[in-house]
């Protein structure tokens, strides 16, 4: 379950970041993300998809863990890990 919530969060943040012009230009350096940018709809819909994925991951975390406070803390921890991975990836694109 941790992996599923983490992957949904990662996809949600990628959609949100690629909807912004600054990050989309940085993603142009990557072959994989260039293909992803072609498949994504317009930026407002991409942002909507990103927010829907993040809210779905929160709902999934809250339904699978019985104690709500633990579920929220756990969700925030996986959220920060997803942000770290995306930040490290985009910083590696800047170095190339």
pLDDT in tens, 24-43: 565 555 666 666 666 777 77
Angstrom distances, CA of residue 72 to CA of 40, 57, 59, 60: 30, 11, 10, 11
pLDDT at 88 over 80: yes
pTM of the model: 0.78
User: In what helix (H) or strand (E) does residue 43 lie, and over which residues does it extend?
Assistant: helix 43-64
CB atoms within 10 A of CB 17: 21
Residue 40 backbone dihedrals phi, psi, to 5 degrees = -75, 145
Angle among Cα 46, 31, 52 to the nearest 5 degrees reads 20
Average pLDDT over residues 40-55: 87
């Amino acid at each position: 379950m941790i992996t599923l919530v983490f992957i949904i969060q990662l996809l949600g943040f990628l959609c949100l970041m690629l909807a912004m012009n600054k990050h989309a230009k940085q993603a142009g350096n990557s072959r994989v993300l260039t293909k992803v940018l072609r498949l994504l709809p317009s930026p407002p819909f991409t942002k909507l998809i990103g927010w829907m994925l993040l809210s779905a991951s929160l709902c999934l975390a809250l339904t699978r863990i019985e104690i709500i406070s633990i579920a929220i803390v756990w969700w925030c921890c996986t959220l920060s890990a997803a942000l770290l991975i995306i930040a490290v990836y985009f910083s590696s694109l800047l170095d190339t």
